[in-house]
Each structure stands twice: as C-alpha cells, then as structure tokens.
Amino acid sequence: MGKESIKLIANNKKAYHDYFIDDKYEAGIELFGTEVKSIRMGKCSVKEAFVKIENGQVYVYGMHISPYEKGNIFNKDPLRTRRLLLHKSEIMKLTGKVAEKGFTLVPLQVYLKGSLVKVEIGLARGKKLYDKRADIAKKDQRRELERDFKVGKMY
C-alpha cells in the first residue's frame, strides 16, 4: 500500500495550550457531500469543539463547517453534531478513561488522508494556570535561544 497524502485542514492550537494530551486517536467522521466539499476547500474550524461519548457512540460538538457556496438546499447546519467513527474497542477504552476524574476528549486536528476526512482526537487532562504559565515561559526561553543563535551565526 502506497503512502497516502495528508493535507491538514484545521488545527486546534488552543487544545495544546489548555490541556496535557495523553493519547491520540484517529477517527473517521460522518459527513454529507456538501460538508466534504466545504472541508476540501479548507472551510472548517475545531477551535471551540469538544467530543462526548453517548450510548456507545462518539460525537463531536461545536465543530464549524461553513456551508458550501454551491450547495443551496443540500447544505446542513454548520454547527450540527457529527458522529465520529471509531472501533468499538477504542470507544470502550475511551469510555473507561473519560470516566476517570480529570480526563476529557478534544478534537486536535482535521485532515484529509487520501480521499477520506479524518479527525484526530486527544485524550486530555486539563492544565492549571501555573502549568500554562510554565509552558509560555518555556516557549519564550526557546525563542530567545533561537534568536541568540541566529544572531551569533552571522558573525
């Protein structure tokens, strides 16, 4: 089987800022034709989205897919609940983890894998304010080092 091309459509940077990501899962997503066309054009956002498990099914809420311009009557609600497609064993494992205190599921990115639309979801633990501050300090420190290194190279 050849290497399938992966094209990133939407990324959730806020999730990495607000949560510690413990585990990542790749899930398919149940979509209508006009939604797929809209995603192919890059009109998708997962910034405010979250994932819930209900009745043994995994759903993503708040994922915004802009209506397709040429879709007219076939367009669906941009913020409708969409079902994620995972194996039953994965759903059972996630159900057990989410039942533990402090764990939640967040969509991390939406991408095209070959001709299929995939959503990467992360099993996440919430960060405290001091964790976020430490991350920001680390990022600033790394940026400073890179800047110093870049300036030092010129001479």
Q: How many domains does the chain have?
A: 1
Is there a domain that residue 104 lies in?
yes
Average pLDDT over residues 107-122: 87
Is there a domain that residue 147 lies in?
no
In this structure, the dihedral spanned by the alpha carbons of residues 26, 32, 38 and 44, taken in order and rounded to 10 degrees, is -40
Is there a domain that residue 146 lies in?
no
Is there a domain that residue 63 lies in?
yes
Is there a domain that residue 145 lies in?
no
Is there a domain that residue 138 lies in?
no
pLDDT digits (tens, 9 = 90+) for 117-126: 888 988 888 7
CATH of the domain at 47: 2.40.280.10
8 Å CB contact between 138 and 30: no
Q: What is the pLDDT of residue 151?
A: 67
8 Å CB contact between 50 and 62: yes
8 Å CB contact between 127 and 134: no
Q: What are phi and psi of 91, to 5 degrees?
A: -60, -40
pLDDT digits (tens, 9 = 90+) for 1-57: 446 788 888 888 888 878 888 888 888 888 888 888 888 888 888 888 888 888 888
pLDDT of 152 higher than 70: no
Band of pLDDT at residue 153, cut at 50, 70 and 90: low
Range of the domain at 54: 6-127
Hey, what are 59's tokens? Answer: 């759903």
Q: What is the pLDDT of residue 99?
A: 83
Q: What is the pLDDT of residue 46?
A: 83
pLDDT digits (tens, 9 = 90+) for 65-107: 888 777 677 677 777 888 888 898 888 888 888 887 778 888 9
**pTM of this prediction?**
0.73
Average pLDDT over residues 52-65: 86
